Structure 1
Amino acid sequence: MRIVSVKQGIAPIASDIANAYIDFSKMTASIVAVTVEGEGGARATGYGFNSNGRYAQPGLLAERFVPRLLEATEAQVTAPDGKLNPQGAWSAMMKNEKPGGHGERSVAVGVLDMALWDAAAKLEGVPLWRLLADRYNGGQADDAAWVYAAGGYYYPGKGVDALVEEMKRYLGMGYATVKMKIGGAPGTALADALAEDIERIEAVVKLLGGDGSKLAVDVNGRFDLQAALAYAEALAPMKLRWYEEPLDPLDYSTHATLAEHYGPPIATGENLFSMLDARNLIRHGGLRPDRDILQMDPALSYGLCEYLRTLDMLAAHGWSRRRCVPHGGHQFALNIAVGLGLGGNESYPEVFAPFGGFADDVPVVEGRVAMPDIPGVGFEAKNKLYDVFKGLG
């Protein structure tokens, strides 16, 4: 095996939407195409990109990680059975990188890692979910993945009625569980912001037939402990699916305090970018393996190679893979969820196009998505996204 070429570019995913912490008016994503040649001259091109919420990484890619990948030897990128070895390529990319500092380089490496796994599955002529099931899950893959519709972003002039109509559209698409943003009223007194959000939440729960377990709420790490506890007291009787990222993701002790006061599920982890950060959360964050949700995103956290290490760590600490529901709403994480038996995957039906959502003509049926039998990640079956990759040449 050898790496033939690596091409990178930047794609805009700008939008007028906002969550409680940031707006997406200048959001970008890195895109890459990695061409690999195998035995007998067989070639495959894998594609990768980074999830929303983190910006494109052209500098890190150009200065460090693409050159290292191109310099990787055939021995480094070839497994003993002659197949492409993404782990070996990952090690080549991380040469001369010190421990720690997982904020941005993890995104750049994750983009290339995604492309390598896409190429690896294409060279074997199988979908990525099947390759992962065979290599890492005893050949067992789920028939379908549970998915939820993430939306409910803040938008200029968007009131409760528009929020409810948005959620109604998701239900019409086949989703059974939805997620909305809260905590996005900056400059508003806590009591007033809470009252506004409770009105919004109650309207969506009413649409869901009064079943709070079909709704998750997401703070995007904005609250301090006082606000998190005030919301927790108001949310607890609603028995929501989960209360997501109420606090700064690295403030483990405060997470532990919140978990002592809030009995229903808490979800967090999308802004933790390494196995070691995830381990600190498990050790010190007070999370409960019988109910809480872990949302680490492979595309942002050094890719699947690191995510496999994270899953091993979780198992050693008594956590089931079913507690993992990755952030990102993309096909890469969906393949991982099906092939490795995770608890499900996020979905963005109406935002972050063309990166959000899954393959064209793949329906959501009662909140579940069955995987198509397409080699690789399946980008070629998502026409608008594939057009973006083809722009790399």
Structure 2
Amino acid sequence: MASPAVLDRVTAVKISSVTLPLPGGISDAKVLTGRQRPMTEVAVLFAEITTAAGFEGLGISYSKRAGGPGQFAHAEEIAPLLLGEDPSDIARLWDKLMWAGASVGRSGLAVQAIAAFDVALWDLKAKRAGLPLAKLLGAHRDSVRCYNTSGGFLHSPIEEVLERATESLSSGIGGIKIKVGHPDHAVDLARVTAVREKIGDRVPLMVDANQQWDRPTAQRMCRAFEPLNLTWIEEPLDAYDFAGHAALARTFDTPIATGEMLASVAEHTELIRAGVDIVQPDAPRVGGITRFLDIMNHAAREQLQLAPHFVMEVHLHLAAAYPLEPWVEHFEWFDPLFNERLDIRDGRMHLSGRPGLGVTLSDQARAWTVAEHEVRA
């Protein structure tokens, strides 16, 4: 006989792999330095969890370039472990799924597959409560500052970057981030200076080097950028060079941001211990909302700024629950996947009154599905 505290059970789990096409070949510094090819698509992993009481939760994970089929394969293996479980026991279920595949690690692809289920369970829990996820977590605000990244990639001529920046600000975006890390450092300085002159001194402007500088180059570039009043310089060094990032944070007035490429709570703990100004965790990359909350709470205790990476449909809710005023990153790339649009105005992304994440899959997402698997009790 079930405990009276068990209010519901998981009766079905469906996973879908969706290939999201991108407009043209997207290039940052990793492409210009020969480390990667231009990005033409994103592999998105969706999990849909249904319960006996009729609730449904939607979860999201993703992979850029390689890795999507691997995430889907691991998710397919562990999905049956959720059947019959109480969906409210999210932390316990995260551990159950993690230990099922512990031999392949507690970070990276393995936990990124778990992330889709974890996000779906949180979405479901908030829907049962009839609350937006941020309100279930305990929101500190109903809107979050947002900046646009998708218009500032290095493959775009500076004229296009300036035009996109103007359009973004006119549409209600609050800040602009552009990519740097060009092999010719003078090109970086010219592009950032041009954007600063175009948008003015009062608009927040960030730059992202995508890990492409060594320590001496990062020192020189951070010094060159100091007069431009940047909101932050992102990933100037390799993602795992915690000491190097900390040294830059101590040396320069411009804040140093990093963390998006880290794939576990343990790695973020090392980063925070080393010392950095702004942490940028990515919920799908660290294993979902459950693990993101661990990182978020640690960062809050250290009074660090928070600027989650990508997937604004999830990170809006998490950022709204952060004690210090955070940022969220705006990309329009995911828009075709959902029926709903996020409310962006006055430089901020606003929570809706819809329960859970507040998004549902579109017909286009179904049309772009390349693999799916469903298990039922």
**Aligned pair in 2 of structure 1 residues 130, 382: CA closer, same or farther (>3 Å)?**
farther
Amino acid at match of 2:144: A
Given residue 58 of structure 1, which amino acid in structure 2 is its aligned partner? Answer: P
Q: Which of 307, 318, 323 is equivalent to 2:292?
A: 307
Deviation at 1:269, TM superposition (A): 0.5
1:8 matched to 2:16? yes
Q: CA separation of 1:141/1:218 partners in 2, compared to 1, >3 Å: closer, same or farther?
A: same
1:233 is aligned to 2:232: no
Provide structure 1 residue ranges, at least 5 long, that are not aligned to the other structure: 134-139, 186-192
Quote the residue 1:348 is aligned against. 331
Q: CA separation of 1:72/1:115 partners in 2, compared to 1, >3 Å: closer, same or farther?
A: closer
- TM-superposition CA deviations, 1:296-339 (whole Å, max 9, x none): 011211001111111233344x235xx11100142111111123
Question: Scaled by the length of structure 1, what TM-score is found?
Answer: 0.81
Partner residue of 2:121 out of 113, 116, 120: 116
Structure 1 132/260 Cα, relative in aligned 2: closer, same or farther at 3 Å? closer
Letter in 1 for 2:225: L
Instruction: Give the superposition deviation at 1:72.
Output: 3.8
Amino acid at match of 2:135: R
Contact 1:148 1:177 survives alignment (8 Å): yes
2:61 is matched by which residue type in structure 1?
N
Query: What is the count of residue pairs matched by the alignment?
Result: 356
Matched, 1:198 2:206: no
**Counterpart among 186, 198, 208 of residue 218 in structure 1:** 208
Give the corresponding residue for 2:236.
246
Q: Which residue of 1 aligns with 2:53?
A: 42
Q: Is the 8 A contact 1:3 1:34 kept in 2?
A: no
Native 8 Å contact 1:43 1:123 kept in 2? no
Change (3 A) 1:72 1:33: closer
TM-score for the superposition, normalised by structure 2: 0.84
Which structure: greater strand fraction? 2
Shift of 1:358: 10
Which residue in 1 is equivalent to 2:133? 128
What amino acid does structure 1 have at the position aligned with 2:58? Y
Contact 2:10 2:83 in 1 (8 A): yes
Aligned mate of 1:86, from 72, 90, 93: 90
Q: What do residues 161-218 of structure 1 show as CA deviations (whole Å, max 9, x unaligned)?
A: 1211111111111113110001134xxxxxxx2211111111111112234x610000
- Judging changes above 3 Å, is the alpha-carbon distance between structure 1 residues 104 and 226 closer, same or farther for their aligned structure 2 residues? same
Say which is worse superposed, 243-252 or 47-56, in terms of deviation. Answer: 47-56
Evaluate the alpha carbon distance shift between residue 311 and residue 339 of structure 1 in structure 2; reply closer, same or farther with a 3 A threshold: closer
Instruction: Give the Cα–Cα distance (whole angstroms) in 1 for the partners of residues 363 and 221 of structure 2.
Output: 41
Output the amino acid matched with 1:16.
G
In 1, Cα distance between equivalents of 2:163 and 2:66: 30
Q: RMSD of aligned C-alpha atoms? A: 2.8
Q: 1:99–1:10: structure 2 CA closer, same or farther, 3 Å change rule?
A: closer
Contact 1:132–1:340 (CA<8 Å) still a contact in 2? no
Q: Identify if the C-alpha distance between structure 1 residues 363 and 233 changes in structure 2 by more than 3 Å, giving closer, same or farther.
A: same
Does residue 169 of structure 2 align to residue 171 of structure 1?
yes
Q: How does 1:1-393 map to 2 (within 5 A)?
A: 1-14=9-22, 15-21=24-30, 22-37=36-51, 41-51=52-62, 53=64, 55-62=66-73, 64-72=74-82, 74=84, 77-78=85-86, 84-96=88-100, 97=102, 102-133=107-138, 140-151=139-150, 152-155=152-155, 158-185=156-183, 193-211=184-202, 214-284=204-274, 286-287=275-276, 292-316=277-301, 318-320=302-304, 323-341=305-323, 343-349=326-332, 351=333, 353-354=335-336, 359-360=340-341, 362-380=342-360
Deviations 1:53-100 (A, max 9, x none): 4645333443x44443422464xx42xxxx622222211111141596
Tell me which moved more, 340-349 or 223-232.
Answer: 340-349
Distance apart, 1:388 and its partner CA: 5.8
Taking the aligned partners of 1:51 and 1:132, their CA distance within structure 2 comes to 23
- Measure, in 2, the Cα distance between the counterparts of 1:244 and 1:72: 38
Three-state SS of the structure 1 residue aligned to 2:46 is strand
Partner secondary structure for residue 17 of structure 2: strand
